[in-house]
Amino acid sequence: KQEVTQIPAALSVPEGENLVLNCSFTDSAIYNLQWFRQDPGKGLTSLLLIQSSQREQTSGRLNASLDKSSGRSTLYIAASQPGDSATYLCAAPTNTGNQFYFGTGTSLTVIP
């Protein structure tokens, strides 16, 4: 069974700071990994999908990396803004692709 862990559980940074969120997974036989954002009481918004053949994926101020051999992914947020405040979740699928395992998320607060 895939187990996904996210560290730290919570993070508070001043506006403008660059930050890194960590995600680790136990089964490296994944073919992709997806990062999501969740605002309080809302659904999940897809941020980035990294295929196993890729090492990095970028969208605007976000950059996600994937290292299957070490079972780790990171989400880098550049020049953080108060609007980035949310919970960030990573999800890794089973090798059949039918079921995604989620971490418990990192709650990010960006202080103006």
Applying CB under 8 A, which residues contact another protein?
A: 4, 31-32, 34, 36, 41-46, 49, 51, 89, 91, 96-105
Q: How far apart are CA 97 and CA 91, in angstroms?
A: 11
Q: How far is the CB of 43 from another protein (least distance, A)?
A: 4
Nearer to another protein, 18 or 99 (CB): 99
Nearer to another protein, 23 or 110 (CB): 23
Q: How far apart are CA 70 and CA 26, in angstroms?
A: 9
Q: How far is the CB of 112 from another protein (least distance, A)?
A: 25
Q: How far is the CB of 40 from another protein (least distance, A)?
A: 11
Q: How far apart are CA 98 and CA 54, in angstroms?
A: 21
Nearer to another protein, 74 or 94 (CB): 94
DSSP state of 69: T
From residue 34, give the alpha-carbon distance in Å to each of 12, 31, 56, 63.
23, 10, 12, 12
Residue 14 three-state SS: strand
Nearer to another protein, 14 or 43 (CB): 43
Q: How far is the CB of 83 from another protein (least distance, A)?
A: 18
